[in-house]
Each structure stands twice: as structure tokens, then as C-alpha cells.
């Protein structure tokens, strides 16, 4: 009851603020009038009577405020007043305001941008129904453990698990496929997913038109159904409404369109479901998995991405135990000895994979940058509060409470930071777009990144917290003003007090320390990047254009016809102006492993590796691929036309050494996949296959004519290879009108795709570090120059007494020596710890890299000295007489 009344009172008071102020004034005026009249009756002159009445009443202003304070809602009222006061202050000091707001906008904008990326990529759950219960199923690959720790399952295991699993509410499998779409514009290679019929329902996908594949669709005789992507529907079929029920031609077969999947459906891509599965970045069409008899029973085809939906309350561990038990119980039918062991990973973690850590590091880095900016703004406010000491002293003397003053300064800083935060959020909209453009396309989920309410909320919270953080110190100092001391202090400034100097030292030290951390990490990343770019890739080609083609089995049914096609392509393209050489290959360096099969020496039984078979990458190449790509052949020779019909192989150095550590491999014979014997005619340099940062895989090169499969066409040029893309396409289209060209890129682009993630991280972290150092140097400059301008007097006296500029410089440097050293030491210690944590993100650079640490320390020391030297020089150039007068 009391509470309600008091609340009502406050609310009314708030609404009727002016009326109440007037009422109090009237009431008090009446009081003084009565007292005056009383005094006159007592015989005083009217003037004297009024004077005494005022004296008896006391400080009217004070009582008026107290009375008002009694009745109104203090917090709200004061806040509104403080904000108004702050706004007036800002208008008076536009430069200060602009500096603070733009610094904050930058800091909060950057934080928001990085947060939105981290949020979308790492933190937010996948856009699937029951995303928290979805898990990825992989198999531990004991046999291949030197190639990869895990492996996607084969069909037999998937089927056995699916049939017997009681811990999960469903298990789905996808297998990527490529089919050529014809009859709808130019032939195009479509990225087709063969999916089990429960995939869409398990993921909670919706149809935009028609329906999606549903349980029951995957049965024999029902295979020719297709669901197409929204993009394909729009690009190839003009978004026609009558698409449902129509037939389309893919891979020379007719398929009936069941429906169009909603545009926001997200299909798995890349290695999200497991290594080597190589899902395409785009999903154009979905067809029933329809496993054939061979697929069901071939144990070696580890080609299925498998996901499962855990029953509510069941754990990944329970699923693992059950699946392993099923594998063990069916080991004979599954031809699985020893029985496979599974790895169950929450889908979220599996999809985000290794991308999470660098992003979280970036988030920390941007946070550190924001912190430096806050410290910087705090110094600005401190400088200003020092300049406003008299103002605060006067206000305290007039009766303002300490709390009131603190609140007022806080209102100023929070108002500023909210303004800066708003500007930052606006900036972040562009920033996110720029960042997504810059980000490597294989950064998982990067295309889903956007600024939304959640991100905006973070922006707002960060800005308010930042405002409180950097406002508190100056606010407390503002509030602590002892009016007597300040007002007594002559207008002739004294030297700084001990607290001022200590505060200054803290600010300098923390700015330098944070900058040091960012710089060290940026330095380590920079060095790693440089090492990556200069690592030995095994090939030296620069001006090479690569195009992927698909020769359909219908147009080119025989091996001879396909070989004929490749031969014609090479000959025709070689005649184009600007082309110096051409070649074909089944896979490019750095674009991953492909066609892994076993190799073992003829003499394996008693041979060096004890009869164990090695897993090697097979590449089908034309003879001159080594020259076109710039791969050296340290031993032996490449293929020649004369080798047609002979079984010859070129091995990579590591493969040759693995089989014959001591002997000359040339002339030795190896078993390849089956038990046929192939003669080694050459040894090629190791070429990095899965990335510059990973050791080259063991590789075996076979002539393309053995398989008639070499879908990547290479053109070496003497000019810009990109410029030849047009003529090469035209020539290819003339040679094979039905052959789609699916991918065109230069070798440089291949390299830059591989390092894209690293470059992305590097660019951002360097950007943050540079911003941090600039901010910190401006901050230190500001602190010193502010302090010197208040000490102009002192310096004037020193110079008048004979100090030379060098002495003054020395004095200032002595004062900052301790904070600078402390900041640097702390920064180095902290960055050493962080570097240890992120060692896994570095490449051939130790986290203790002395050069990086030393250069960062030197650089920052130099920056600090410079930031002190400039304002000091200005101070020493003042005429001492002026300084003393102006003081």
C-alpha cells in the first residue's frame, strides 16, 4: 500500500514536474512574505524585515531542491536531466564528441561484425529441426590412420545400423553425384545429392513447390524422382509453376520433378560430414539414394555422409556403443575385420569443425581492440574532467552530492557510448558485407552471416558496458572533488598530483600491454602466412588455366573415344595464340585427394615394408603434365606415346621412398589396386595435395589413356591465363558441344583458395593490431600532451631556471619509463600465454618466436617514445615567460 502510494506520488511528480516546482516556489515565497510582515509588525523597516526573513529561512535553493528530491522519482528525473546536460556539453565540445563517437563506432562496429560472423558460424545452432539432437556418424579408420583419423561409412554399415538402431530416431545418408543437365539451355554439370528418403523430414526441410522426397520414395523402380533447388528452378526453369510433374534430363536419363526445396534449405557441403567426402558447395538437385546391389556390398566405398537423430534423452555415447555392437555382431556379412568403430560428433561441432577456434581468437582480438579504445576514451574523459575540476568544485560547493556528480559523468559517457554504439551498428551492416566478401568461401556457414536482433543486442550491451567501463574512473574522480582544495589551488597550475600520475601510468601501461598482445599475435600470423606462401608446394606453375569438363558415357562410351577427345583438346588448345603448352590430369595439386588405392612392391612378401600395402593417391595424367605444372622429375622420365600399351607408373618421391628406402626405384615393379604389375619409370617431386600446410600424400601417376579419365584440362600461357578463359571455352565448345565446362580457375586462384582462410584471419588480425597501436599511440600522445599543457607553468619555471629541452625530454621520458616497461612486460607475458594456446593455428612458426616478440617490444617502445617526444618538444618551445603568464 505504502509502496503503491509512493510510486503513484513519484509518477505524478514526474509528470507534473514543472507544476510542482512552481508550487514549491509559491509556498516558500508565501512563507518569506509572512515572516517579513511579522518582522515589520515587530518594528523593522521593510527592507530589513525582508532581509531578516530570508536569513531566517536559510538557503532557499537548497531547500527547494531537497523538497523536490523528497517527492520525485530521483533516478528517472536525474537521468533525463543528466542526458540533457550531457547533450549541452557535447554541443559545446564538438571535436571531443566526434573523436569519442567515431572511436567507439569503429570499435563497436568491428566487435559487432566479428561477433555476427562468430555467432553465425560457431555459436548459432544449425538451421535444422532438432538441431541439438543431430549427430554425424563417422568411422575410425585404423587402416588409414596415417592418412586420416576418420572416414565416412560405407553403405553396408549404414544399412545395418539403420535397421537395428534403437537409440536414434532415424539415420540418413547422402552421397554426392554429378549429372549433366541437358535440354534446358547449355548443358551444365549439376551437383546432385543422392539422399535417403528420410533426409528432408529429419532435417525439417520444407518444399516451396510440390513435395520433397519422403519416406517410401526410396524403393526399386521409383528411383527416377528428383527434387530441385530453388536456384536451379529459377535459373534453368524460369521459376515455372508447372515444374512439378515435369520431366527433366539429367545424365541422359529422364527424371520426374517432385518439387522444389525452399530457398533457405541448407545442404551439407565440403567435408562437413567427414573427410574426403568432398560435398559440393552447391546442391542443385536431390534424388533418392537408391543403393544398388553392388553399392550395398562393396566394403571399400566409404562414400556416404551419415547423420543420425538421437532419441530424446539418449547420448552420443549410447549411440556409439550401439552402432559398434551392431558392427561387431554383423562383422561377417559386413566383411569388416576387425569390426569398425564409430565416432559420433554433434553435428554442430562437426560442421563448424576447425573454423571455430580462429574465429573465437578474432573475437578476443577485436575485444582487446575495443578495450584499448575504451581506455583511450577514458583518458580523454579524464583529461576533460581534470579541466573541469573547477566546475565540479563549484557544484559541490553549491550543494551537489557526490553521487549526483558521478551519475552525471556516467550519463555523459553512457550517452556517448550509446551514440557510438548506434553508429557502430550502422557501420557493422557494411562491415558484415565486406567481411563475407573477404571470407574464404569454405568457411562453414559464411553465407548465412547477417546482422540480426541478437547481434544488435550485443552491440547495444557492449556499448553500454563500454560506457560504464570507461566512464567509471573519470566519474569517480569527478565525484571526489574536494571543493576547498580545488578552489584554493591558484589558477596557476601546480604539478600533477600523485593520484593523477598513477592513473596516467595505468592507462599508458594497459594500452601498451593490450597493443603488444595484438601485435605479437598479428606478427605470428604474418610470419606463418609468409611461411605458407613460401613453402615448397612441389609445383612452380604460375600462368596456368584449369578447366573441368565432363565427358558423358553416352557421347563418349568407349575408352578410345574419350582418349581421342582429350588428345584433340590438347592439340587444339595448344594452337591457340598465347598458349605455350597443354596437359590433362584427373586432379589438380592442392585440390584434395582423389582415387585412393593400394600399391605395394612386387617383392612385397619379403620386401622392405613387410608386405603391407600403402594407400596412394592416383592421378591420371598426360605425359607433359609435369612440365606444365612445373613438377620436377628427380629420377627417370615421364610417359611417352611409346608407353601406350605398356604398364608404366611414375611415383612421387615419398611413395618411392616408402617402398624402397635404399634402392633405386626405377625399373622396379608395383602392384596397383588389383594384382597387375606396373613398372616404375620415373620419380616426381612430392606435390602437396590437401593444402600447402599438409604434407604431400603418397601419389602414383598413371597415363590418362589407361582410364580415359582426366577431366581437368590445363593450359599454360605466356600472358594472363585468365584472359584466355574465353577463347579456350569457345574452342572446347566447338570440339564437344555436349561437354559441359564446370569450373574454370587459374593455378594462382587454386593457391589463393587454399590460403583463403589464413589470409582472412591475417587481414583481420593485422587490421585490429594496427588500429590498436594507432589508438594506443594517440592515447599516449593525448595523455602526455594534456599533462604537459597543465604543467606548462612548471616547465616554464624549469626552462627559466636553465633547463635545456634535452633535460625536459629526459624528465618526461623518465616519468613514462616505468609504465611503458610494465605495459610491455605484461603484454609480452600475456601474449606468450595466448601464443601457446593458438600454437595450432601457426605454421612453421614457434609460439615463442623471439624475433616477433623483440620487434613488437621495440616497435611499441619506439611508438611510446615518439608519442611522448612530440608533445614535449612543443612544450619546450614555449617561451617561458608566456608559459608562466598563461599558467
8-state DSSP, 126: P
CA pair distance 739, 102, nearest whole angstrom: 55
Cell representation of residue 780: 599516449
Q: Cβ 406 to other proteins, closest distance in Å?
A: 22
CA 831 to chain centre: 20
> Residue holding cell 595448344?
574
Q: Which is nearer to other proteins, 44 or 830 (CB)?
A: 44
Q: Cβ 64 to other proteins, closest distance in Å?
A: 8
HEC readout, 487-513:
HHCCCCCCCCCHHHHHHHHHHHHHHHH
Q: Cβ 5 to other proteins, closest distance in Å?
A: 6
Cell representation of residue 645: 600399351
Q: Cβ 31 to other proteins, closest distance in Å?
A: 4
Alpha helices, DSSP H only, in 388-452? 389-397, 402-438
Nearest to 719 by CA among 746, 751, 744: 746
Q: Cβ 9 to other proteins, closest distance in Å?
A: 6
Q: Which is nearer to other proteins, 38 or 855 (CB)?
A: 38
Evaluate whether 18 touches 80 at the Cβ level (below 8 Å). no
* Helix axes of 402-438 and 389-397: crossing angle, nearest 10 degrees: 140
> Residue holding cell 582410364?
707
> Residue holding cell 616408402?
658
Q: Which is nearer to other proteins, 53 or 795 (CB)?
A: 53
> Residue holding cell 598413371?
702
Evaluate whether 599 touches 700 at the Cβ level (below 8 Å). yes
Locate the DSSP E strands across 586-676.
Answer: 596-601, 614-621, 635-636, 648-652, 669-672
Q: Cβ 62 to other proteins, closest distance in Å?
A: 7
Q: Which is nearer to other proteins, 33 or 252 (CB)?
A: 33
Tell me whether the omega of the peptide bond preceding residue 820 falls within 30 degrees of 0, making it cis: no
* Helix axes of 46-57 and 60-71: crossing angle, nearest 10 degrees: 40
Evaluate whether 322 touches 165 at the Cβ level (below 8 Å). yes
Q: Which is nearer to other proteins, 30 or 430 (CB)?
A: 30
Nearest to 543 by CA among 346, 748, 381, 301: 748
Separation in Å, CA 662 to CA 14, 602, 654, 658: 93, 16, 12, 10
Q: Cβ 69 to other proteins, closest distance in Å?
A: 8
Q: Cβ 393 to other proteins, closest distance in Å?
A: 24
Q: Which is nearer to other proteins, 69 or 536 (CB)?
A: 69
Q: Cβ 13 to other proteins, closest distance in Å?
A: 9
Cell representation of residue 118: 562468430
Q: Which is nearer to other proteins, 38 or 742 (CB)?
A: 38
> Which parts of this chain interact with other proteins (CB under 8 A)?
2, 5-6, 9, 23-24, 26-28, 30-31, 33-35, 38, 56-60, 62-64, 66-71
Which residues are bridge partners to 579 per DSSP? 717
CA pair distance 607, 658, nearest whole angstrom: 11
Question: Which H or E run includes 615?
Answer: strand 614-621
Q: Cβ 39 to other proteins, closest distance in Å?
A: 11
Q: Which is nearer to other proteins, 74 or 357 (CB)?
A: 74
Q: Cβ 483 to other proteins, closest distance in Å?
A: 22
What SS3 state is found at 729? Answer: helix
Q: Which is nearer to other proteins, 60 or 357 (CB)?
A: 60
Q: Cβ 126 to other proteins, closest distance in Å?
A: 56
Nearest 5°: the CA angle 718, 719, 724 is 105
Q: Cβ 2 to other proteins, closest distance in Å?
A: 7
Question: Which H or E run includes 309?
Answer: strand 305-310
Q: Cβ 75 to other proteins, closest distance in Å?
A: 15
Q: Which is nearer to other proteins, 9 or 96 (CB)?
A: 9
8-state DSSP, 607: S
Q: Which is nearer to other proteins, 59 or 183 (CB)?
A: 59
Q: How many CA atoms lie within 13 A of 733 on its CB side?
A: 11
Q: Cβ 56 to other proteins, closest distance in Å?
A: 5
Nearest to 521 by CA among 77, 69, 90, 833: 833
Q: Which is nearer to other proteins, 59 or 611 (CB)?
A: 59
CA 384 to chain centre: 37
**What is the number of helices (H) and of strands (E) in the chain?**
28, 22
| Residues contacting 701, CB < 8 A, separation 6+ | 618, 619, 620, 621, 625, 649, 650, 651, 652, 684
Q: Which is nearer to other proteins, 398 or 800 (CB)?
A: 398
CA pair distance 881, 524, nearest whole angstrom: 51
Question: Which H or E run includes 821?
Answer: helix 805-837
Q: Cβ 48 to other proteins, closest distance in Å?
A: 13
Q: Which is nearer to other proteins, 71 or 184 (CB)?
A: 71
8-state DSSP, 268: -
CA pair distance 163, 159, nearest whole angstrom: 6
Evaluate whether 731 touches 578 at the Cβ level (below 8 Å). no
Q: Which is nearer to other proteins, 33 or 186 (CB)?
A: 33
| Residues contacting 430, CB < 8 A, separation 6+ | none
Q: Which is nearer to other proteins, 399 or 840 (CB)?
A: 399
Q: Which is nearer to other proteins, 65 or 489 (CB)?
A: 65
SS3 content of the chain, % helix, strand, coil (to 5): 55, 15, 30
Q: Cβ 78 to other proteins, closest distance in Å?
A: 17
Q: Which is nearer to other proteins, 66 or 695 (CB)?
A: 66
Q: Cβ 85 to other proteins, closest distance in Å?
A: 23
What SS3 state is found at 210? Answer: strand
Amino acid at each position: 500500500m505504502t509502496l503503491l502510494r509512493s510510486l503513484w506520488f513519484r509518477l505524478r511528480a514526474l509528470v507534473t514536474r514543472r507544476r510542482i516546482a512552481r508550487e514549491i516556489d509559491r509556498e516558500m515565497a508565501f512563507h518569506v512574505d509572512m515572516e517579513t510582515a511579522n518582522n515589520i509588525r515587530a518594528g523593522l523597516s521593510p527592507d530589513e524585515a525582508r532581509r531578516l526573513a530570508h536569513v531566517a529561512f536559510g538557503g532557499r535553493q537548497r531547500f527547494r531542491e531537497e523538497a523536490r528530491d523528497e517527492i520525485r522519482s530521483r533516478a528517472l528525473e536525474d537521468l533525463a536531466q543528466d542526458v540533457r546536460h550531457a547533450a549541452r556539453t557535447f554541443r559545446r565540445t564538438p571535436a571531443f564528441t566526434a573523436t569519442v563517437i567515431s572511436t567507439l563506432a569503429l570499435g563497436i562496429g568491428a566487435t559487432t561484425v566479428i561477433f555476427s560472423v562468430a555467432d553465425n558460424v560457431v555459436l548459432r545452432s544449425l538451421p535444422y529441426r532438432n538441431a541439438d539432437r543431430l549427430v554425424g556418424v563417422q568411422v575410425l579408420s585404423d587402416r588409414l590412420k596415417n592418412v586420416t583419423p576418420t572416414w565416412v561409412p560405407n553403405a553396408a554399415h549404414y544399412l545395418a545400423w539403420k535397421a537395428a538402431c534403437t537409440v536414434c530416431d532415424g539415420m540418413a545418408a547422402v552421397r554426392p553425384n554429378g549429372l549433366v543437365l541437358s535440354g534446358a539451355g547449355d548443358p551444365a554439370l549439376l551437383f546432385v545429392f543422392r539422399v535417403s528418403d528420410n533426409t528432408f523430414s529429419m532435417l525439417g526441410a520444407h518444399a516451396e513447390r510440390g513435395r520433397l522426397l519422403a519416406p517410401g520414395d526410396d524403393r526399386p523402380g521409383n528411383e527416377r524422382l528428383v527434387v530441385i533447388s530453388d536456384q536451379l528452378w529459377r535459373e534453368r526453369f524460369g521459376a515455372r509453376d508447372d515444374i512439378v510433374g515435369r520431366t527433366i534430363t539429367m545424365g541422359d536419363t529422364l527424371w520426374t520433378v517432385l518439387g522444389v526445396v525452399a530457398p533457405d534449405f541448407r545442404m551439407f557441403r565440403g567435408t562437413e560430414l567427414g573427410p574426403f567426402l568432398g560435398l559440393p558447395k552447391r546442391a542443385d538437385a536431390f534424388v533418392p539414394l537408391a543403393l544398388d546391389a553392388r553399392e550395398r556390398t562393396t566394403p571399400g566405398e566409404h562414400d556416404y555422409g551419415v547423420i543420425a537423430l538421437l532419441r530424446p534423452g539418449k547420448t552420443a555415447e549410447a549411440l556409439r556403443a550401439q552402432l559398434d555392437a551392431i558392427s561387431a555382431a554383423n562383422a561377417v556379412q559386413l566383411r569388416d575385420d576387425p569390426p569398425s568403430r564409430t565416432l559420433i560428433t554433434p553435428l554442430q561441432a562437426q560442421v563448424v569443425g576447425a573454423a571455430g577456434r580462429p574465429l573465437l581468437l578474432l573475437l578476443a582480438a577485436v575485444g582487446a581492440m575495443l578495450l584499448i579504445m575504451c581506455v583511450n576514451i577514458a583518458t580523454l574523459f579524464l583529461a576533460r574532467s581534470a579541466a573541469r575540476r573547477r566546475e565540479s568544485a563549484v557544484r559541490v560547493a553549491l550543494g551537489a552530492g557526490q553521487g549526483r556528480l558521478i551519475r552525471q559523468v556516467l550519463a555523459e559517457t553512457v550517452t556517448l557510448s550509446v551514440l557510438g554504439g548506434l553508429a557502430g551498428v550502422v557501420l557493422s551492416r557494411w562491415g558484415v558485407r565486406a567481411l563475407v566478401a573477404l571470407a574464404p568461401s569454405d568457411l562453414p556457414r559464411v553465407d548465412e552471416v547477417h546482422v540480426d536482433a541478437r547481434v544488435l543486442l550485443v552491440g547495444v550491451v557492449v556499448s553500454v558496458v563500454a560506457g560504464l567501463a570507461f566512464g567509471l574512473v573519470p566519474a569517480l574522480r569527478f565525484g571526489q572533488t574536494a571543493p576547498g582544495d580545488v578552489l584554493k589551488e591558484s589558477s596557476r597550475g601546480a604539478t600533477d598530483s600523485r593520484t593523477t600520475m598513477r592513473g596516467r601510468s595505468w592507462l599508458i601501461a594497459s594500452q601498451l600491454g593490450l597493443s603488444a598482445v595484438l601485435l605479437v599475435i598479428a606478427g605470428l600470423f604474418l610470419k606463418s602466412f609468409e611461411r605458407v606462401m613460401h613453402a615448397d608446394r612441389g609445383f612452380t606453375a604460375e600462368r596456368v588455366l584449369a578447366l573441368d569438363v565432363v565427358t558423358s558415357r553416352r557421347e563418349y562410351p568407349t575408352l578410345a573415344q574419350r582418349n581421342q577427345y582429350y588428345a584433340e583438346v590438347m592439340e587444339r588448345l595448344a594452337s591457340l595464340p598465347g598458349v605455350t603448352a597443354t596437359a590433362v590430369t584427373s586432379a589438380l595439386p592442392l585440390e584434395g585427394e582423389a582415387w585412393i588405392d593400394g600399391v605395394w612392391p612386387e617383392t612385397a612378401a619379403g620386401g622392405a615394408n613387410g608386405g603391407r600395402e600403402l594407400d596412394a593417391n592416383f592421378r591420371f595424367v598426360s605425359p607433359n603434365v609435369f612440365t606444365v605444372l612445373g613438377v620436377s622429375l628427380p629420377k627417370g622420365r615421364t610417359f611417352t606415346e611409346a608407353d601406350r600399351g605398356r604398364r608404366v607408373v611414375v611415383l612421387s618421391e615419398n611413395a618411392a621412398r616408402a617402398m624402397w628406402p635404399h634402392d633405386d626405384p626405377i625399373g622396379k615393379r608395383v602392384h596397383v589396386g588389383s594384382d597387375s604389375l606396373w613398372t616404375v619409370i620415373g620419380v616426381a617431386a612430392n606435390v602437396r595435395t590437401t593444402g600447402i600446410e599438409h604434407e604431400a600424400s603418397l601419389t602414383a601417376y598413371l597415363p590418362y589413356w589407361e582410364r580415359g579419365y582426366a577431366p581437368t584440362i590445363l593450359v599454360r600461357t605466356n600472358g594472363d591465363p585468365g584472359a584466355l578463359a574465353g577463347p579456350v571455352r569457345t574452342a572446347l565448345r566447338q570440339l564437344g558441344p555436349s561437354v559441359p565446362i564446370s569450373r574454370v580457375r587459374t593455378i594462382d586462384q587454386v593457391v589463393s583458395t587454399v590460403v583463403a582462410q589464413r589470409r582472412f584471419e591475417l587481414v583481420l588480425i593485422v587490421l585490429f593490431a594496427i588500429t590498436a597501436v594507432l589508438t594506443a599511440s594517440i592515447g599516449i600522445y593525448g595523455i602526455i600532451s594534456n599533462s604537459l599543457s597543465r604543467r606548462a607553468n612548471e616547465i616554464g619555471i624549469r626552462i627559466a631556471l636553465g633547463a635545456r629541452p634535452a633535460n625536459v625530454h629526459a624528465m618526461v621520458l623518465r616519468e613514462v619509463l616505468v609504465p611503458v616497461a610494465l605495459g610491455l612486460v605484461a603484454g609480452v607475458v600475456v601474449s606468450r600465454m595466448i601464443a601457446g594456446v593458438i600454437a595450432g593455428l601457426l605454421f612453421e612458426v614457434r609460439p615463442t618466436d623471439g624475433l616477433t616478440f623483440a620487434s613488437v617490444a621495440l616497435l611499441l617502445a619506439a611508438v611510446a617514445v615518439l608519442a611522448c617526444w612530440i608533445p614535449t618538444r612543443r612544450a619546450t618551445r614555449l617561451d617561458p615567460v608566456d608559459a608562466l603568464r598563461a599558467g
